[in-house]
Amino acid sequence: MARLRLVRWFVLDLLVVGMLAGTAFAATGGGVLGEIASTGVFRVGLRSDVRPFAYVDELGRPAGFCVDMALLLTAKLSEYAGRPVEMQVVPITSTNRLDKVASGEAMIEMGASTHNATRDVVVDFSLPYFLSETSFMVRASGGIVSLADLAGKTVCAARGTSNLPALEAAVADGRVPASLIEVADSHEQGVKWLRDGKVDAYFTDTVLLQSLRASWPKPADFVVVQESIHTEPYGWILPEDDSDWRDFVDNFLIWTLEVSCAEEVFLLDELGIMSACRDGEWSVFDAVYDKWFGPLSATPIARSAQFDALLATMQWPDVLEVWPGSAGK
């Protein structure tokens, strides 16, 4: 019963806290893990525009693959701290996500963020949890079916994304034969420009394009052209120079890959994830993935052999025996 109250407590608290603006924060000793253990507060940076990774649902609540993973991480942090940990949501955008984590306002950003060398200069990243590619979406009536058809056209990507420099490089070297690049302030603006004819193609991660198309009032107006210009490995953004926190998050990801649904029925059910676990032998990661990307989801994305191989190589030995440990040790 104690565990039941613990899980319900932080889930209900998330719904009450909602999308916080201007969350107060203060650094304490012992890095992020020490601060969480001493304050009982876990500040998670979440986007509202990267469905199905993180978005705001029709009731105004955070939802998505990364939100479910954040809830699971909060449960394990409560176990580590030996006390209920409150998950507070810090609103983050594509342009301020690095600053929010680097400043400590958010302890982690859990969304569709590509791990690249430029970003790694100012923040750290977790192990990759997703693989996507930069491709593009066009109007169904535009007659564009390949990169070659973009000759002389206007293309677009969002400011602050890794897709924008990838697109700029592809235009510069001729892989994308466009004549002009427009820069949108958000995915929503980019899609509106595409709809209105201001741009001829909108570039971002394939999974986001498919989600943007599916959530549009008239999905048939758009076509996603799955011709890639860049590979996008997603990781969760972490503060620099805090190896204990990075290790905890990495081990959390490995735990989701290794532990079965059957072993975590209680937790998955309390978080509303168990309903997606149609096979008790699936891992926790499989259950969350199937909920948001499986064949019955709004955004079905089959895992590639490359993605499965990457996940398999990350499962180093003994994690389940030693993790999550205890703040009291």
pTM: 0.79
Residue 294 has pLDDT above 50, yes or no: yes
C-alpha to C-alpha distance for 130 and 288, rounded to whole angstroms: 12
Residues 6+ apart with CB under 8 A from 231: 131, 132, 133, 134
300 vs 8, higher pLDDT: 300
216-262 per-position pLDDT tens digit: 899 999 999 988 898 889 999 999 999 999 999 999 999 999 998 88
Residue 187 has pLDDT above 60, yes or no: yes
According to CATH, where is 3.40.190.10 located in the chain? 2-129+235-322, 132-232
| Res. 20 pLDDT band, cuts 50 70 90 | very low
Structural contact between residues 268 and 287, judged by C-beta atoms closer than 8 angstroms: yes
Q: How far is CA 72 from CA 87, 100, 103, 282, in A?
A: 11, 22, 24, 16
C-alpha to C-alpha distance for 128 and 57, rounded to whole angstroms: 26
| Res. 26 pLDDT band, cuts 50 70 90 | very low
Structural contact between residues 173 and 229, judged by C-beta atoms closer than 8 angstroms: no
In this prediction, residue 329 carries a pLDDT of: 65
Cα 93–17–252 angle (5° rounding)?
70
Domain range 2-129+235-322, CATH class: alpha beta
Mean predicted confidence (pLDDT) in 102-131: 95
Which range among 73-82, 83-92, 255-264 shows the weakest confidence by mean pLDDT? 255-264
Mean predicted confidence (pLDDT) in 54-58: 92
Residues 6+ apart with CB under 8 A from 27: 35, 104
| Res. 267 pLDDT band, cuts 50 70 90 | confident
Residue 263 has pLDDT above 90, yes or no: no
Mean predicted confidence (pLDDT) in 150-177: 96
| Res. 134 pLDDT band, cuts 50 70 90 | very high
Residue 9 has pLDDT above 90, yes or no: no
Give a three-class secondary structure readout of the chain. CHHHHHHHHHHHHHHHHCECCCCCCCCCCCHHHHHHHHHCEEEEEECCEECCCEEECCCCCEECHHHHHHHHHHHHHHHHHCCCCEEEEEECCCCCHHHHHHCCCCCEECCCCECCCCHHHCCEECCCCEEEEEEEEEECCCCCCCHHHHCCCEEEEECCCCHHHHHHHHHHCCCCCCCEEEEECCHHHHHHHHHHCCCCEEEEEHHHHHHHHHHCCCHHHEEEEEEEEEEEEECCEECCCCHHHHHHHHHHHHHHHHCEHHHHHHHHHHCCCHHHCCCCCCEHHHHHHHHHHCCCCCCCCCCCHHHHHHHHHCCCCCHHHHCCCCCCC
Mean predicted confidence (pLDDT) in 303-310: 86
For residue 317, is the peptide bond before it cis, meaning its omega torsion is within 30 degrees of 0?
Answer: no
For residue 52, is the peptide bond before it cis, meaning its omega torsion is within 30 degrees of 0?
Answer: yes
In this prediction, residue 315 carries a pLDDT of: 86
In this prediction, residue 304 carries a pLDDT of: 80
CATH 3.40.190.10 for the 132-232 domain, yes or no: yes
Which range among 1-15, 19-33, 95-109, 235-249 shows the weakest confidence by mean pLDDT? 1-15
